Copies of this chain bind each other. A is one copy, B any other.
Amino acid sequence: MSTFRNRILKVDLSTSTFSEESFDEGVVHDYLGGRGFGAKMLYDRLQPGTDPLGEDNLLIFVAGPLAGTHAQSFSRTKVFFKSPLTGGYFKSAAGGFWAPELKYAGFDAIIVRGIAEKPVYLWVHDGKYELRDAGYLWGLDCDDTHTLIREELHDPRVRLACIGPAGENGVRYAGIFTDRRAAGRGGGGMVMGAKKLKAIACRGEQPVEAADKEAFASAIKEQLAAYRANPACVNFAKTGTQIAEFTNLLGMYPVRNFREGVLPNWQAIEGDAYAKLRARKEGCYACSVHCGNLTRVYTGEYAGAWTEGPEYESTWAFTGPMGKADIGLTIAADKLCDDMGMDTITAGSTIGFAYELFEKGLITKKDTGGITLKYGDNRHVMDLLRQIAYRKGFGNLLAEGSIRAARQLGHEAEKYAIQVKGLELPAYDPRGAKAHGLNLMTSNIGADHNSGYGGQEVFGSPVPFPVDRFEVKRKGELTKWNQDQTAMLETGIICSFVPSWGGITEEVFGKLMAAGTGTADFADVKYLWTVGERIFNLERMFNVREGFGSKDDVMPERFSTETLPEGPSKGHIFEQNELRRDYYLARGWDVDTGIPGRAKLEELGLAYTIGK
């Protein structure tokens, strides 16, 4: 018995054929599961130079080893693919209920290849699978897609991972949505759309049982006790991700395309403001935290709007970039992005980028379809989001993301694209938090906060050693620690928030993984750290094979040349060269090329990646 199904479903949409695989024992031992499996499969099965939108790109859906059990916050879904936004390795995760349902349906993972002739969806149920016509679903938003597929299958308990119009229409930052949770970043939805795969529906009744039930139950108790005892966790359960108060008080809430660090009237969009609009709490499978919030607008221009969320990043995406704190818009725009199926961060940031271009005169009303983009005026945001999702008008340019849009507009525009490797920065100004910035600069998927969240600099945890957010020293070491810990914990696809508020120790994580899967080595914390580092380096080698290197670990020049003008982070810049070098050294990578050294690769069992 194990929480693993030992069953991977492979579907080739070009030929409408299926096959199955079981696990390679060595891979299980070396990569544990979750992100480890995804990184390994993507590295092994993708040729360098693969077109992200071509037949050969893969879309790999992975449920964590413990998904479907009562291990807390372990039931997330991770999707792996070569990104049409970054051109590199990508991973994106979603909460909700899809991964457990995949396990109940009999599988640990699904590998999708090829391009269907006509729109289809994949139906996986109780060990069986089939492709079904999605012609009538093509063009529908994510919400209607859920409703109609559940009806068609005569089972309201079916769980879906699906795309909306944004994915179908080739928005480069279209995501994959399950109920109202999203694997939002990096364009997985665009890959899915290119494959003409509207959805993967799962349903099953096969129980997931731990190898050592007693040890597993005991570890869950330890985990739950930590959740209950930890004030940060209790607080997180209350407010969810709404941390605009923290980041504004630290002066690192990005405003007007990352030119300022404090949003005027930010109190209008912080936790207490959302609490007043909260209809109820929402949670994911087997997570006692229920950090989600169903919010509702009752008055003003957006009266009637509601959403699940917005999470902090989405709140920011529709306030900071426009320089206006309008809670109604954050709720309406968040829901619109959920319905259309696209990433709020890149959507909001790309619109904010256009605001600056307009201000600088690099675009005019001729480009925008006649509208004026002016900071403090957010009236066109909803319309622009619709235009993006349907690639209409000015939205057709914005649907490319900021750096591609900039390249179309000419060299001068490029420096205003606030992104790394093509992925737009989230809601943390790196000048106010150097480990945050260093992670954004070096993450394998571009400027992703969740790849190595510098919680120390915002919340003071987790704490491997004392940290000053402005300090440059030891930030390489800290970032490596954050990134490797994340990679380690994401073998279980535990929610990234958990370590931020100290909800789990590596020991408890290891106990759960070992007792669940029946592999004793997984309880060895030192080994877990090795696996975390291995995964991070393997992802790096995927990108190296694609031609990535130190030239891609670069922040937009603004952060090195302009200081923050006001607030508690006033006067700071982001010392990117110093930080990068420190990081490479901590990583054992070549300080010039940013390529992992042979010794490091051999130490990590990644010698097979050398010279590829």
Contacting residues, chain B, for A165 (C-beta < 8 A): 304
Q: Are A136 and B304 in contact (CB under 8 A)?
A: no
A150: CB under 8 A from chain B? yes
Contacting residues, chain B, for A152 (C-beta < 8 A): 280
Q: Are A144 and B306 in contact (CB under 8 A)?
A: yes
Contacting residues, chain B, for A137 (C-beta < 8 A): 279
A259: CB under 8 A from chain B? no
Q: Are B147 and A156 in contact (CB under 8 A)?
A: no
Given A136-B306, A140-B306, A306-B140: A294 and B148 interface contact (C-beta under 8 Å) = yes
How far apart are A599's CB and chain B's nearest CB, in angstroms? Answer: 53
A196: CB under 8 A from chain B? no
Contacting residues, chain B, for A139 (C-beta < 8 A): 298, 303-304
What are the interface flags for A156-173 relative to B under an 8 Å C-beta threshold, 1 for contact and 0 otherwise?
A: 110000000100000000
Size of the chain A interface, CB-CB below 8 angstroms: 24
Instruction: Compute how far the CA of A306 lies from the CA of B282 in the bound complex, rounded to whole angstroms.
Output: 29
A296: CB under 8 A from chain B? yes
What are the interface flags for A269-292 relative to B under an 8 Å C-beta threshold, 1 for contact and 0 otherwise?
A: 000000000011010000000000
A12: CB under 8 A from chain B? no
Instruction: Compute how far the CA of A304 lies from the CA of B164 in the bound complex, rounded to whole angstroms.
Output: 12
Q: Are A304 and B147 in contact (CB under 8 A)?
A: no
Given A156-B150, A157-B156: A136 and B294 interface contact (C-beta under 8 Å) = yes
How far apart are A79's CB and chain B's nearest CB, in angstroms? Answer: 24
A143: CB under 8 A from chain B? yes
Instruction: Compute how far the CA of A5 lies from the CA of B144 in the bound complex, rounded to whole angstroms.
Output: 36
How far apart are A296's CB and chain B's nearest CB, in angstroms? Answer: 5
Contacting residues, chain B, for A148 (C-beta < 8 A): 279, 294, 306
How far apart are A196's CB and chain B's nearest CB, in angstroms? Answer: 15
What are the interface flags for A123-151 relative to B under an 8 Å C-beta threshold, 1 for contact and 0 otherwise?
A: 00000000000011101100110011011
Given A143-B147, A147-B143, A147-B147: A296 and B156 interface contact (C-beta under 8 Å) = no
Q: Are A280 and B140 in contact (CB under 8 A)?
A: no
Contacting residues, chain B, for A136 (C-beta < 8 A): 279-280, 294, 296, 306
How far apart are A336's CB and chain B's nearest CB, in angstroms? Answer: 14
What are the interface flags for A469-495 relative to B under an 8 Å C-beta threshold, 1 for contact and 0 otherwise?
A: 000000000000000000000000000
Instruction: Compute how far the CA of A353 lies from the CA of B144 in the bound complex, rounded to whole angstroms.
Output: 33
Instruction: Compute how far the CA of A304 lies from the CA of B145 in the bound complex, rounded to whole angstroms.
Output: 12
A-B contact pairs, 5 of them (CB 8 A): A136-B280, A139-B298, A140-B306, A148-B306, A152-B280
Beyond A135-B279, A148-B294, A156-B157, 9 additional contacts (C-beta under 8 Å) are A136-B279, A136-B306, A139-B298, A140-B304, A143-B147, A147-B147, A148-B306, A151-B282, A152-B280
